[in-house]
Structures are given as structure tokens and as C-alpha cells.
Structure 1
Amino acid sequence: MTERVVSLDLAGITDKAGLMDRCARALDLPDWFGRNWDALADSLGDHTLWPEDAVERGLLVVVRNWQGYAQARPDEWRTAQEVFGQVADHTPALSVHLALGGSS
């Protein structure tokens, strides 16, 4: 059985608030999601918040169109990468990949 794939498309995102909103939508996070780095890390690492089929199969988050955000907010983007990387390192069923190509 393959992982559940979630596309996190950051096209048009130029700030942290936009990133957090896009994460909340793409990952279907609860209304009480705090929209800060700690809350993002906690949500990504908490398999009870994942889509139901991802709990057994694993979750692959593919981050697309991230380059504009990285250019607009390089410090925030570094923090986002650290959060994604640290959570993935400590959550065996979670993988986060950066798409290097276009919006396909």
C-alpha cells in the first residue's frame, strides 16, 4: 500500500500567515490549529490529525511552488524547512518532499 499524498501548493504565498493558512487547508487541520511554527510541528507529528487512510499508509507531503515564498521570506522559509525536516526525522510515517519542477 502506498503513502497518502498531500500536495501543499505554495503558489502566491509570500508570508508566514499565507503559509499557515495553506498548510491548514491542504492538511485539513482542525479550526484550533494555532498557525505558528510550534503548532505546525505538533500537527504534522500528530497522526491523529492526518487523513484517516494516512495513519496506516503513511503521509507524503509534496511542497510545490515554494520558490516564490523562499525568495520573498528567506528566513521564514529556512524555518519552515527546519520544521518540516525535524518533524519528518521524528515521525517515521511522514515524508516531506520539495518539488523542484513547475506546478504540475
Structure 2
Amino acid sequence: MSDSGFDMGLEDANQAGVYGVGDGDLGGLAAAARDAGLKVLRIDLEACADKRTLLMRVGTQLDFPPGWSRNWDALSDALRDLSWLPANGYALLFSQADDLRSANPEDFDTLLDILSEAASRWAEDKVPFWAFFELHDGGGAGADEEE
């Protein structure tokens, strides 16, 4: 049971993955993730319409080491490492995700795939790695959620 009295199972690495959530749900998820002992990292995707902007925002919010190559492979490598952000687990909260999903569905889908792969990699070490995307339709767009 968490400090909030509501246990969402966020400490379970086998359930972790990529999920879509409704508008306004990220605040509660952030509190629940902190209660579960996870490092909460927020990435604002408002007006994010391309890969370049997306990678810049993720790299900045996750404090990627200087000199990281801003490309999909480097993002994948960094998300499966995170040695500069030691934690018992991670919760990445992507707000305004519809902006990227609408403007560039291919980049959005690539991001989902990379995050899903990272979650699987972390699960091998029994470390929960969650990614939640705030979407107007509330979900169904995450790699672990069926549309």
C-alpha cells in the first residue's frame, strides 16, 4: 500500500511499459509513482511536432550526458542505461502527447517502440520503467495498450 492509500502496482517491473492516459491524469500518476519509490520525470510535448524537438526535450528533461547524439539509436541506448539518474525505477510522464501524435505519427510511434523496448530491458533487471502519455482520448495509443 502506498502513502496515498492506493496501490497501483507501479513497483512491479513486469507490469511496467508504455500507456496512454486521459487529460489530467498525470498529476495523480506522479504522486503514485513517487509513493512507489520511482523517479518521476516529466516531458512536455506541447507544440512538439518533429523528431529534433522531441529528442531535445527528452534529452534535456532526463539530463542526458553532454555530447549524446540526438538520434533514435542514441535515445534507445540512453533510456536503457540511465546510470546518471540512479533510481529504484522510473516513471516518464509525457504531457500534451497529442501534439506530437497529430503532427508526426511516425515519430510518435517510433518513440513508443523505443520506450517499450527500454521497459522490457529494465524488466530483465527487475526495475520498473513506465512511460505515460497524456492523450485526449485517454489511451489506446501506447505500445502496451491496444487501440
Pairwise TM-score range, normalised by the shorter structure: 0.7 to 0.9
Task: From 9, 25, 39, give the equivalent of 2:74.
Answer: 39
Q: CA deviation at 1:49?
A: 2.9
The 4+ residue runs of structure 1 with deviation greater than 2 A are none
Aligned to 1:77: 108
Aligned to 1:91: 122
Q: Secondary structure at the match of 2:91?
A: strand
Q: Given residue 27 of structure 1, which amino acid in structure 2 is its aligned partner?
A: L
Partners of 2:91 and 2:100 in 1: CA distance = 21
Q: Secondary structure at the match of 1:96?
A: strand
Q: CA deviation at 1:33?
A: 1.3
TM-score, normalising length from structure 1?
Answer: 0.85
* Residue correspondence of structure 1 range 20-35 to structure 2 within 5 A: 20-35=55-70
Aligned to 1:8: 43
- Greater shift, 24-33 or 90-99, is seen at 90-99
Offset from partner CA, 1:48-104 (integer Å, 9 cap, x none): 132x4x2xx211111111101111111111111101111111112222121236xxx
Q: CA deviation at 1:36?
A: 0.7
Unaligned segments of structure 1, at least 5 residues: none
Whether the aligned pair in 1 keeps the contact of 2:98 and 2:134 (CA below 8 Å) is: no
Aligned to 2:94: 63
Whether the aligned pair in 2 keeps the contact of 1:29 and 1:43 (CA below 8 Å) is: yes
Identity of aligned residues (%): 27
Q: Given residue 99 of structure 1, which amino acid in structure 2 is its aligned partner?
A: E
User: May I ask how many residue pairs the two structures share in their alignment?
Assistant: 97
TM-score, normalising length from structure 2?
Answer: 0.61
Whether the aligned pair in 2 keeps the contact of 1:43 and 1:49 (CA below 8 Å) is: no
**Over aligned residues, Cα RMSD in angstroms?**
1.4
Partners of 2:90 and 2:103 in 1: CA distance = 28
Instruction: Give the number of the structure with larger relative contact order, counting CA–CA contacts within 8 Å between residues 6 or more apart.
Output: 2
Partners of 1:14 and 1:30 in 2: CA distance = 24
Partners of 1:41 and 1:67 in 2: CA distance = 22
Partners of 1:99 and 1:73 in 2: CA distance = 16
Unaligned segments of structure 2, at least 5 residues: 1-35, 137-147
